[in-house]
Chains A and B, each alone.
Chain A
Amino acid sequence: MPVRNNIRSIRKERGIKQLQLAEDLQVTRQTLTAIENNKYNPSLELALKIVNYFNLPIQEIFILEEEKE
């Protein structure tokens, strides 16, 4: 997938548990796992909620990789 994220590493740095983050963002734990493993790209709304939650610039959380031709 061309979009990666650093949510897991940021979450662990801040000592936030996955369940707590899922509750705060109001998503299921399975969805959060899928996002952290880059198996699912969140919607714009959810991505912005994540950005607001961590209070970091969006490019530090979500990275668009260049597609290899």
Chain B
Amino acid sequence: MRKNMEKWNLTFRAINVLVGVILGLSIVYFIKEEFNLSILLGALTGTVILTVTNIMKALLKRDRTPDTDERTEKNMLKFYLFSSHIFIGLLFIALCISSFLGIEEILTVYLWIIIIAYICFSGIGAFIVSRR
């Protein structure tokens, strides 16, 4: 049964993210009495896309081989190790440059962009590495 449920991992993760977003929005609503519909719609769109992708993947898969095994998991771990170290190195260099240039304030929106970009690139990279 566990093997049968494994092929729905992507959908399960997407639903978890949606639940997390709803939880976060609820907390913000109770504290600040603000509700941002665009965040919910974005999460819902992502969930639908991932679910449809999972369904297509499950229907198209003809063999009984697993999606990941010991080698692909090792490759992904290695990738995450290198990418996180490179990210910290690049951040350090950026911090040195900004300190040298005398920049004393950085808008948090730029920091968010950097973090989200890292998450996207590391996610896509790990997916590519797991398929090799």
Distance to closest chain A CB from B62 (angstroms) = 10
User: By the criterion of a CB under 8 Å from any partner CB, how many residues of chain B are at the interface?
Assistant: 12
**In the complex, which residues of chain A have a beta carbon less than 8 angstroms from the beta carbon of B38?**
none
Say whether chain B's binding surface is mostly helix, strand, loop, or mixed. Answer: loop
B71 at the interface (CB under 8 A from A): yes
Could you tell me if B71 and A19 are in contact, using CB atoms closer than 8 angstroms? no
Q: In chain A between 13 and 67, which residues have their CB closer than 8 angstroms to a CB of chain B?
A: 19, 22-23, 26-31, 34, 40, 42-43, 46
Could you tell me if B63 and A23 are in contact, using CB atoms closer than 8 angstroms? yes
B68 at the interface (CB under 8 A from A): yes
In the complex, what residue of chain A is closest to B132 when comparing beta carbons? A30
Could you tell me if A22 and B70 are in contact, using CB atoms closer than 8 angstroms? no
Distance to closest chain B CB from A22 (angstroms) = 5
Distance to closest chain B CB from A38 (angstroms) = 13
Query: Which residues of B pack against A, CB within 8 Å?
Result: 63-72, 131-132
Query: Which residues of A pack against B, CB within 8 Å?
Result: 19, 22-23, 26-31, 34, 40, 42-43, 46
A-B contact pairs, 14 of them (CB 8 A): A19-B63, A19-B65, A26-B65, A27-B65, A27-B66, A27-B70, A27-B71, A28-B68, A28-B69, A28-B72, A29-B65, A30-B131, A34-B71, A43-B70
